[in-house]
Amino acid sequence: MKILRGLNLDVLYLLLINNNTEMSFPNTRKYPIAWQYAICVGLVMLISGIGFYFRSLIGYRVVALLLLMGVSVTAMLFEIVPVLVAALFSAVIWNFFFIPPLFTFHIDTPEDVLFFILYFLIAFINTVLTFKIRDAEKKAREKEEKDRIIRLYTALLNSLSHELRTPISTIIGALDTLKENGETLSERDQAELMWVIGKASDRLNREVDNLLNMSRLESGMLTLNIDWCDIGELIHHVIRKCREDSGKTIEFHPDDHLPLFRLDAGLVEQVLYNLILNATQHTPEGTTIRIQVSHLSEMCVITISDNGQGFPENEIPLVFGKFYQLPGHKPGGSGLGLSIVKGFVEAHRGSVTLENQVSGGALFTIRIPAETTYMNLLKNE
């Protein structure tokens, strides 16, 4: 069981932590502090300039409201100190350029004095309250994210406990039977038990490989081993492996005129294996799986289709996510296969898409930019 030593739960935790980074807004608090000061003060100056140009139309009290709005916007985006500086700066500008008499810090009427004090207090209170609300929201999001990670981690461990325990139990049971009854078992029974052990070992190895491949993607340690590749021969090799795992019909008619492509053959083989195995496992009996390859605009284009039931339309955007499993399908797998497909294809600067065919069934399309050459040219090289 040496293979299980590669299964490090720290790797799983790394995967979970990185699972929710797709949809996030720019964190303006991480901008350099000088930029934050410049943006906050610049926004106040911009509003002041516009207000000064239209002061005869809108009046200085409306300008105060516009300045408060600008301070509120900066309070939602930046750290508290630059925003407090912007609030103080806006109060000074409003007094000097807008409150009569203009271009002085003197205020004539008690009403304007009170209005200026209220402006100053509202600007500062608004800044502090907005900052505290942002902090409270951030803590709530962090707590929600931790809860989500714990739920996802638990679900993954439950899935893995089944996926790893089942083949291990199969292997141990078959080995025990061979040890205890080896002399009495017929050669046919022994061969069948050995076949069962081989199948369970392949399944175990596949799950551990998926985990290790995903850890390579997440850690950024994936490096491509680019070389000339006969894509037709590669697909034939993958088909032979998948046919051993399923009785489904797999059709592939190679194009003898296709060039050789410069690819990482190992990664592309894993991509094709995951997609074809996924099709064999999750389509009904009698399904035909078709594979096609073409060379289009300096791209290697591979399509894998079937005439099964396809995917629910609302689930299609989710299928390449980590740990995703289609609802209603038979249990099995860690939900990493399609996310590894996406990662390996994107490592080639390519893309993979999924759509339902009008005639029924799913269609995966892989597009990988690659150099090409023909066999006779390669021989001359």
pTM of the model: 0.53
Separation CA 215–CA 220 (nearest Å): 8
Q: Are residues 175 and 46 in the same domain?
A: yes
Q: Which of 73-77, 114-118, 139-143, 328-332 has the lowest mean pLDDT?
A: 328-332
Q: Which two tokens stand for residue 122?
A: 């509202």
What does the pLDDT look like over 275-317, one tens digit per residue? 998 888 888 888 889 999 999 888 899 999 998 888 888 888 8
Residues 153 and 207 in one domain: yes
Burial class (CB in 10 A: 0-12, 13-18, 19+), 86: buried
Q: Tell me: pLDDT of 6 over 80.
A: no
Q: How does residue 153 score in pLDDT terms, banded at 50, 70 and 90?
A: low
CA within 13 Å, CB half, 360: 7
In this structure, are 347 and 256 located in the same domain?
yes
Check whether residue 265 and residue 214 sit in a common domain.
no
Say if residue 30 is exposed, middle or buried (CB neighbours under 10 Å; 0-12, 13-18, 19+).
exposed
Q: How confident is the model at residue 8 (pLDDT cuts 50, 70, 90)?
A: very low
Same domain, 123 and 214: yes
Q: Residue 176 region, left (φ>0) first, then alpha (ψ -120 to 50), else beta?
A: alpha
DSSP structure string for 26-39: --GGGS-HHHHHHH
Name the most confidently modeled range: 107-121, 161-175, 259-273, 321-335: 259-273
Clarify whether residues 242 and 157 are in a common domain. Answer: no
Order of all β-strands in the sheet with 260-263: 227-229, 260-263, 372-373
Q: Kindly report, residue by residue over 230-254, the tens digit of the pLDDT.
A: 999 999 988 887 776 566 788 998 8
**What is the Cα–Cα distance from 357 to 194, expressed in whole angstroms?**
41
On whether both 177 and 46 belong to a single domain, the answer is yes
Could you tell me which residue, 85 or 324, shows the higher pLDDT?
85
Number of separate domains in the chain = 2
Segment 347-373, tens digit of pLDDT: 899 999 999 998 888 999 999 998 888
* Residue 205 and residue 134 in one domain: yes
Token pair of 234 as six digits = 């590669």
Q: Kindly state whether residues 258 and 216 are assigned to the same domain.
A: no
Distinct helix (H) and strand (E) counts, the chain: 10, 8
The CATH code of the domain that includes 339 is 3.30.565.10
Q: Which of 180, 206, 221 is the last residue of a domain?
A: 221
Do 153 and 262 belong together in one domain?
no
Residue-averaged pLDDT of the chain: 79
Residues 215 and 297 in one domain: no
- Residue-range definition of the domain harbouring residue 152: 1-221
For 24-70, how does the pLDDT look when each residue is reduced to its tens digit (9 = 90+)? 445 666 788 888 888 888 988 999 899 888 888 888 888 888 888 88
Same domain, 104 and 250: no
Task: Tell me which of 166, 201, 221 is where a domain ends.
Answer: 221
Domain boundary among 195, 221, 247: 221
> Encoding tokens for residue 264?
């990482």
